[in-house]
Amino acid sequence: MAAESRMILYAYWLSSCSWRVRAALFAKQLIFEERSVDIVKQRDQLSDQFRAINPSQKVPALVIDGETIVESMAILQYLEETRPSPSLTPNTPLLRARMREICETVVSGIQPLQNLGLKPHFETEEQFQRFTKHWSERGLQTLEDLLVKSSGRYCVGDKLTMADICLVPQLFNAVSRYKLDLNKHPTLSRIYKHLLLEDIFDKTHPKNIKPMK
Ligand SMILES: N[C@@H](CCC(=O)N[C@@H](CS)C(=O)NCC(=O)O)C(=O)O
């Protein structure tokens, strides 16, 4: 078997989208180097150099198999197809649909509406905070209602899937950035507490990733 080329993850320690990929790489026991892109202070993502890596000028981007792949869900799907074991996908069409409902709620329904890149388009910090907090709160209620139907020990039944990988970073963001009260959402709260203790989320947690100096 040919030796695997070195994988490089361009990421930011506090970025929820980066954490998705970091967690999937961990789940699949893949060795990679994480290169920090400071999206907050230095705004490295806006450089021409980084634009050549990711045209959308956001993290994450993964260099893998001699290619660069951007968009966290495209990366997760590529990993799933090229490194299928352990699988992060349920094994029936209905459960896969349940998984995608949760992924989409996070990836399209919450994260883009609280992304830091929106901030310069608001007149005041307070307006930005109010907007982003509203959509985070609304998203958590949606997730709670979905999880009541789909969850077991994990978001979808009793198997770790991409839904959990999308959920945990977003909830961490809701709690740490917006101080949202997860106790209002008992199912979300139960699953989040247990997932945080699992190695996949503990070892890849921002607290264990070296922040930018
Ligand atoms: N849909 C993209 C979203 C990427 C994204 O919004 N990344 C954020 C961090 S979680 C970012 O780089 N924000 C900086 C900016 O927009 O300038 C993905 O899932 O990869």
Q: What is the CATH number of the domain that holds 68?
A: 3.40.30.10
Any domain includes 55 = yes
Total-model pTM:
0.96
Number of domains making up the chain: 2
How far is C-alpha 192 from the geometric centre of its chain's CA atoms?
14
Higher pLDDT, 195 or 5: 195
Nearest to 150 by CA among 84, 211, 66, 94: 94
- 32-36 and 7-11 as β-strands: parallel, antiparallel, unpaired? parallel
Is 136:128 a contact under the CB 8 Å cutoff?
A: no
Confidence of residue 211 (pLDDT cuts 50, 70, 90): low
Q: Does the beta carbon of 59 sit less than 6 angstroms from any atom of ligand 1?
A: yes
Mean pLDDT of 142-152: 98
Is 202:196 a contact under the CB 8 Å cutoff?
A: yes
Q: Does the beta carbon of 20 sit less than 6 angstroms from any atom of ligand 1?
A: no
Confidence of residue 178 (pLDDT cuts 50, 70, 90): confident
Same domain assignment for residues 128 and 145: yes
Secondary structure class of 9 (helix, strand, coil): strand
Any domain includes 141 = yes
- Supply the range of the domain harboring residue 112: 93-201
Give the sign of the dihedral formed by CA 54, CA 4, CA 35, CA 84. positive
Same domain assignment for residues 137 and 191: yes
pLDDT at 171: 97
pLDDT over threshold 80, residue 96: yes
Mutation pick for ligand 1 pocket among 20, 38, 59, 79 (CB with most ligand atoms within 8 Å): 59
The CA–CA distances, whole Å, from 134 to 102, 174, 178 equal: 18, 11, 10
Distance CA 1, CA 49 (A): 34
Same domain assignment for residues 107 and 161: yes
Ligand 1 atom 19 nearest Cα: 72
Q: Does the beta carbon of 16 sit less than 6 angstroms from any atom of ligand 1?
A: yes
Same domain assignment for residues 178 and 134: yes
Q: Does the beta carbon of 40 sit less than 6 angstroms from any atom of ligand 1?
A: no
pLDDT at 213: 47
Confidence of residue 5 (pLDDT cuts 50, 70, 90): confident
